[in-house]
Amino acid sequence: MEQASILIVDDTRDNVRLLMQILKQRGYTVNAVSNGEQGLATALAAPPDLILLDIMMPGIDGYTVCERLKARPETAKIPVIFISALNEPLDKVKAFAAGGVDYLTKPFQMEEILARVGLHLTLRHLQIQLEEANAQLTAQNQELQQRNAELQEALNAIETLSGLVPICAWCGRKIQDAQGNWIKVENYIEAHSAATFTHGICPDCAAKWKP
């Protein structure tokens, strides 16, 4: 996940500077904005792989930003890690209730940041792989169901030509259908199979009518 993109939403410049330095050194692509409205607009315009989101910011707070991100299909699955100086249990509960996947308290520890970011990027990558595999299985299952339907249709056509079919003992050229009607053999077979008839003269008939 070294090429993953990360969006930082934080109005404290020192925090942003430190986070960008740590993450860029690890090879991540990092973008930063200073308030919630900018964070929403940036995430919608170019969805990142992960968002680091402060709670206390001018305008809308981080809880509201996260809730709005989770309400949009374009950004709903982006993992959001809250970053805040707030360290009360209630603050963390609200963060997870809003849709966050993790919570980091300030001041930051570099090793912890990299470990948490790496973990959630890996989980997101695995989730994407699972979704792609499920989509492929769904497509294969639909194709298999279509083939089974075609096979069943073919079997049904064959079954309609099996069993006892009354044929005229006198002329040998008409068959009685399920409704009791006597119809030509070729018409019956064409109606109950994919066969199409053409006409010719067999050697016996040709000899019979030959001058």
Tens digit of each residue's pLDDT (9 = 90 or more) over 70-81: 999 999 999 999
Q: Which of the given ranges, 75-84, 153-162, 180-189, has the highest pLDDT on average?
A: 75-84
Does domain 5-133 fall under CATH 3.30.1360.120? My reply is no
| Choice between 167 and 134, residue whose per-residue pLDDT is larger | 134
- pLDDT value, residue 125: 92
In this prediction, residue 157 has a pLDDT band, given cuts at 50, 70 and 90, of: low
In this prediction, residue 175 has a pLDDT band, given cuts at 50, 70 and 90, of: confident
Q: What would the DSSP string read from start to end of the chain?
A: -TT-EEEEE-S-HHHHHHHHHHHHHTT-EEEEESSHHHHHHHHHHS--SEEEEESS-SSS-HHHHHHHHHHSTTTTTS-EEEEES---HHHHHHHHHHT-SEEEESSP-HHHHHHHHHHHHHHHHHHHHHHHHHHHHHHHHHHHHHHHHHHHHHHHHHHHTSS---B-TTTS-EEE-TTS-EEEHHHHHHHHSS--------HHHHHHH--
Whole-model pTM over 0.85: no
Q: Say how far apart CA 184 and CA 22 lie, in whole Å.
A: 86
Domain with CATH 3.40.50.2300 in the chain: 5-133
Length of the chain: 211
